Amino acid sequence: MHDVASASAAPPRPFDRRDARTLTLSALGGALEFYDFVVFVFFAKVLGALFFPPDTAPWLAQLQAYGIFATGYLARPLGGIVMAHFGDLVGRKRMFTLSVFLMSVPTLLIGLLPTYAQAGALAPLLLLLLRVVQGIAVGGEVPGAWVFVAEHVPRGRVGFACGSLTSGLTAGILVGSLLAAWISAHYSQQQVHDWVWRAPFLLGGVFGFLAVWLRRWLSETPVFAELRERKALAEGFPVRQVLAAHRGAVVLSMLATWMLTAAILVVVLMTPTLVQASFAIPPALAFNGNSVATAALMLGCLAFGWGADRFGPARALLVGVAGLAASTYALYLHLASGGTAHFLLLYAVAGGFTGVVGVVPTIMVAAFPPVVRFSGLSFSYNIAYAIFGGITPPLVGFLSARFGGLAPAHYVALACAVGAGVAVHLLRRGAAARPASPL
């Protein structure tokens, strides 16, 4: 683990109002941007019907819509690597503001797109293009946000900072879920197909521009400011330094990201649609359950972030992945048995354990030295998310349709086993067994 250069033996300063303000503004802005990125998945069925030929089989149209959703993840490395390059060279704050602006524009434009009935094959191509731009934006946003808050807070509070930021990003998912549930309850399916589907994207564009304005009030991180003052910034291409000297940290971070990807995509984003298709759960119940689970996820991120500071990231990760695998199986086995009475409760428990994703950025921030931290974290996270985020939605959707409703739980359990391996490796090294202090 790397300590920021001049983090001396002096005791860490206390967490103060300035830190709380930084976390609040960062998390709120991230929530607005993440809403823009994930609202797509809540309307995947509708988009599949509207943006592909009408004679396409429903399962294939949905699979194609998930494929376009996945391209956003495939585009993330481009945005992440470029923004991280300049984040390590010219400042964290500038890239932190640029990423949210790049998200706002395509989200707004998706809400204005013509459908297949209006524009033919051009419609899905335009949807694909805008999704790529969204991916570029979020590729810089998420790792940049984690680095930004981690470098602002005192040593020993990095886990809580990363957990809080992740909880804030999750709030964007909750807003999308609540909006989807409200639309499902108040509008007919025909109305949603006719025009209502556009509203969440138009609203998201407005949210994004609000986030740009909010970030005017943030300041550069003390860590980067000190590196710049000491003229100790990276030279040339920071990602080259990462690949030359920190390959072990890259592999570790990519494996941890796989677990994070499975937890967020399958348990939170895809489950509302999957349970409708596999177990005939009514849409309103599915989306209500998702809202409850996402609220539990927000609390879980805070709890696991606190646990990372108190007991060490590796121990928090090990407990979390065990609980996540068990609770996901409990949820899907309950549905497979034909029951729905405990759906909301079991989904909430699974959502709470999904909060273990709040530990992952703490591990990754600590894995790289500050001079190349943004590039190292962004490269690892975005490449892994491009791979696993790109294949997970179509793969899990296909496996569920062809091999049964328990397929999502099996996939999550596999990723949790990988996360447990990361935790055990860190515990054996002793590097992350203690509370996080990467700064």
- Average pLDDT, stretch 417-425? 96
- Average pLDDT, stretch 121-149? 86
Whether the per-residue pLDDT at 433 is higher than 90: the answer is no
Coil vs helix vs strand at 16: coil
Handedness of CA 90, 91, 92, 98 (dihedral sign): negative
Q: Which residues contact 74 (CB under 8 A, 6 or more apart)?
A: 132, 135, 386, 389, 390
Whether the per-residue pLDDT at 3 is higher than 60: the answer is no
Whether the per-residue pLDDT at 342 is higher than 60: the answer is yes
- Round to whole Å and give the CA distance between 226 and 209: 30
Run of H or E including 107: helix 92-110
Buried b (16+ CB within 10 A) or exposed e, 30-57: bbbbbbbbbbbbbbbbbbbbbbbeeebe
Whether the per-residue pLDDT at 233 is higher than 80: the answer is no
Lowest-pLDDT range of 56-60, 278-282, 414-418: 56-60
Q: What integer pLDDT is reported at residue 1 of this predicted model?
A: 54
Whether the per-residue pLDDT at 364 is higher than 70: the answer is yes
Per-residue DSSP letters for 64-100?
HHHHHHHHHHHTHHHHHHHHHHHHHHT-HHHHHHHHH
- Average pLDDT, stretch 127-139? 85
Average pLDDT, the chain: 85
Every domain of the chain and the residues it spans = 17-429
Note the helical H segments in 337-367: 343-354, 360-367
Class of the CATH domain delimited by 17-429:
mainly alpha
Lowest-pLDDT range of 144-148, 176-180, 348-352, 379-383: 176-180
More reliable by pLDDT, 41 or 434? 41
